[in-house]
Chain A
Amino acid sequence: MDLLEIKNIDLKYQTPEGETHAVEGLNMTVKEGEFVAVVGPSGCGKTTLLSIIAGLIKPSGGKVFISGKEVDDVSPRIGYMLQKDQLFEWRNVEANVMLGLEIKKIKTPQNVAYAKLLIEKYGLKDFMRSFPRNLSGGMRQRAALIRTLAFKPDILLLDEPFSALDFQTRLSVCDDVYRIIKSENKTSVLVTHDVSEAVSMADRVYVLTKRPATVKSVFEIKIDKPTPLEKREDKDFSYWFNRIRREIPT
């Protein structure tokens, strides 16, 4: 059975100014442990799609299932990483990482120990008492990822997590995040409009149409390298990159 199943999702935003048809008849499945990327033109409805999966927005039509169970509210099995790191400036790194545990009222000694283990494992131990303003962009992103991992979600939703970084940092942070996600063995859905990012990270890439978003095509990426940086250097990389880029509506 697929871990995540999105069936025929439809969404219209209603505002006083009018109606925006953001998603139309979208289907998608994600298997356990899989890394799926979603690419599409900007403003096509990618963030909307993730918000629906997370249970933050109710779709106008269609259903989302996690392990066969319908999502009808904010799902505790999902960890959502937003476009910017959204660290709280008045909390130090450690307190930021504990946020999810506090909100979910599961700040048990075991969970705190696990969160601290993650901090240590992923190189933020010396910065535990630092405040976000004293961290580099890459470290902030790592802190945000650890905050998301701390409450042990089964599915990670990543909404352009690297868009706030400059190009050089982006490559290494991307590698970093990928390594962490793989070693924690999480199922992930990454939204991006950067095709090279999608090709270098994902097992499968969904290309969306212009708004209203629906699936235009799906690609199984087969580059046999363990990390995004190495995949970028592989000879097959440009083949996939070009094939997918041509698919994206402009």
Chain B
Amino acid sequence: MKILNEREKYLKNERRKKIIVILCRIAIVVVFVALWELAANTGLIDSFFFSSPSRIVKIITDLSRQNLFYHIFVTLKECVKAFVISTAIGFLVAVALWWSDALRKILDPYVVILNALPKIALGPLIIIWVGSGERAIVTMGVLICVVVTVINVLTGFLATENEKIFLLRSLGASKFQILTKLVLPSSTADFVSALKVNIGLAWVGTIMGEYLVSGAGLGYLIIYGGAVFNLDLVMASTVLLCLLAGGMYFAVSLIEKIVVKK
């Protein structure tokens, strides 16, 4: 038998802990699904109201032979659009507010109010202004995301160390150089965490928008399923949403690993 040294023991232990965590995670899903299925089959819960894993799988396979992917595509497209547009606008506004102290002071109360406002209240107005359909949904998503993006990104910018700004000024740096050489690189971590928050909010905005106006998409399927009491459809769409949102979050985490490690 091989005698392990301390380091090897430690590493082995760590690896074992990691595996246990992953196994537990999988176990939770498996147990949950199994109990749900069992409860539905034995009549403990009414599968008409609560659906069941097998019924969800069945409806997803049925739908995938029809237009499921179209619905997924519609929602995903809206969400990505809302995410990209709100991130871009939010970033630019944050830069403007960082650039001008006066502008930041003047606009401060408006940012606070816009942040507190429940954007869903603007739904009817949005429909009247930009029309129904994709544009309304993306607008809703952008409205929900953009203020939070501005606040989070700006907070990162303002956390820049004063002494470092001072150093750059002593080198004769312009404001633009201070932005590009110092403020942006020093706040990448904040920026990525703002992106993560934004992903979640973009989904909220998109689904909310689809509840308001839509002819397609997962949010539409949920509303439609609810209206005709097809709760299997509602559950199936919700499960798909979970998977999509999780996937997008994972993608951003991957970007974070690449960017922040540098």
Contact of B172 among A76, A83, A84 (CB under 8 A): A76
* A: interface residue count bin: 10 to 19
List residues of chain A with CB within 8 A of the CB of B182.
88
Interface bits B159-180 vs A (CB < 8 Å: 1, else 0): 0010110111111110001000
Q: A56-B166, A82-B163, A86-B163 given as contacts; is B171 within 8 A of A99 (CB)?
A: yes
A90 to B186, CA, bound (A): 8
Does the CB pair A103–B172 fall under 8 Å?
yes
Residues of chain B lying within 8 A (CB to CB) of residue A80 = 167, 170
Please provide the chain A residues from 141 to 179 with a CB less than 8 Å away from any CB of chain B in the complex. 151
Q: Determine the chain A residues whose CB is within 8 A of the CB of B166 once the complex forms.
A: 56, 82
- Chain A residues contacting B163 (CB-CB under 8 Å) are 82-84, 86
Q: Judge whether B170 and A88 touch: CB under 8 Å.
A: no
CA distance A83 to B166 in the complex (A): 11
Nearest residue, chain A, Cβ from B161: A86
Per-position binary interface string of chain A over residues 194-219, scored 1 when its CB falls under 8 Å from any chain B CB and 0 otherwise = 00000000000000000000000000
Is A137 engaged at the interface, CB distance under 8 Å to the other chain?
no
Given A82-B163, A82-B166, A83-B163, also A90-B171 (CB < 8 A): no
Give B169's nearest chain A residue, CB to CB.
A56
Which B residues touch A233, using CB under 8 A?
none
Bitwise, B191-226 to A at CB < 8 A (1) or not (0) is: 000000000000000000000000000000000000
A104-B171 contact in complex given A88-B164, A88-B182, A90-B186, C-beta closer than 8 Å = yes
Residues of the A chain whose Cβ atoms lie less than 8 Å from the Cβ of B161: 86
* A117 at the binding interface (Cβ < 8 Å): no
Whether B164 pairs with A103 at a CB distance below 8 angstroms is no
| Chain A residues within 8 Å of B177, by CB | 103
B18 neighbours in A (Cβ, 8 Å): none
B124 at the interface (CB under 8 A from A): no
**0 or 1 for each of A95-109: is its CB under 8 Å from B? (1 = yes):** 000011011100000
Q: Does B65 contact A (CB under 8 A)?
A: no
Residues of A within 8 A of B186 (CB): 88-90
- A134–B252 CA distance with the chains assembled, in angstroms: 28
Q: Hey, which chain A residues are within 8 Å of B170, CB to CB?
A: 54, 56, 74, 78, 80, 82
Q: In the complex, are the beta carbons of A74 and B164 less than 8 A apart?
A: no
- With a cutoff of 8 Å between Cβ atoms, the chain B residues found around residue A82 in the complex are 163, 166-167, 170
Residues of chain A contacted by B173 (CB below 8 angstroms): 103
Q: Give bound CA distance, A104 to B167, whole Å.
A: 13
**Bound CA span A204–B127, Å:** 76
Which of under 10, 10 to 19, 20 to 34, or 35 or more describes the interface residues of B?
A: 10 to 19
A82 to B165, CA, bound (A): 11
Is B246 positioned at the interface, with any CB of A under 8 Å from its CB? no
* Complex CA distance for A88 and B182, rounded to whole angstroms: 8
Name the distance in Å between B183's Cβ and chain A's nearest Cβ: 12
Q: How far is the CB of A57 from chain B (nearest CB, A)?
A: 10
Q: Whose C-beta in chain A lies nearest to the C-beta of B262?
A: A90
Give the docked Cα–Cα distance between A98 and B30 (Å). Answer: 56
- Rounded to whole Å, the gap between the CB of A183 and the closest CB of chain B is 23
A134, chain B: closest CB distance, angstroms: 14
Q: Could you tell me the distance between the alpha carbons of A89 and B262 in the complex, rounded to whole angstroms?
A: 10
Given known pairs A56-B166, A86-B167, A90-B186, the reply for A99 and B181 (CB within 8 Å) is yes
Which residues of chain B come closer than 8 Å to A104, judged between CB atoms?
A: 171-172
- Chain A residues within an 8 Å CB radius of B181: 99, 102-103
Report if B131 contacts A (CB, 8 A).
no
Determine which of A54, A88, A102 lies in contact with B185 in the assembled complex, contact meaning CB atoms within 8 Å: A88
CB distance from B26 to the nearest CB of A (A): 37
Q: How far is the CA of A99 from the CA of B170 in the complex (A)?
A: 12
Given contacts A56-B170, A90-B186, 7 further A-B contacts (CB under 8 A): A54-B170, A74-B171, A76-B172, A80-B170, A86-B163, A86-B164, A103-B181
Give 3 closest A-B pairs by Cβ, nearest first: A80-B170, A103-B171, A74-B172
Q: List 22 A-B contacts (CB under 8 A).
A: A54-B170, A56-B169, A56-B170, A74-B169, A74-B170, A74-B172, A78-B170, A80-B170, A82-B166, A82-B167, A82-B170, A83-B163, A86-B161, A86-B167, A88-B182, A88-B186, A99-B181, A100-B171, A103-B171, A103-B172, A103-B173, A103-B177
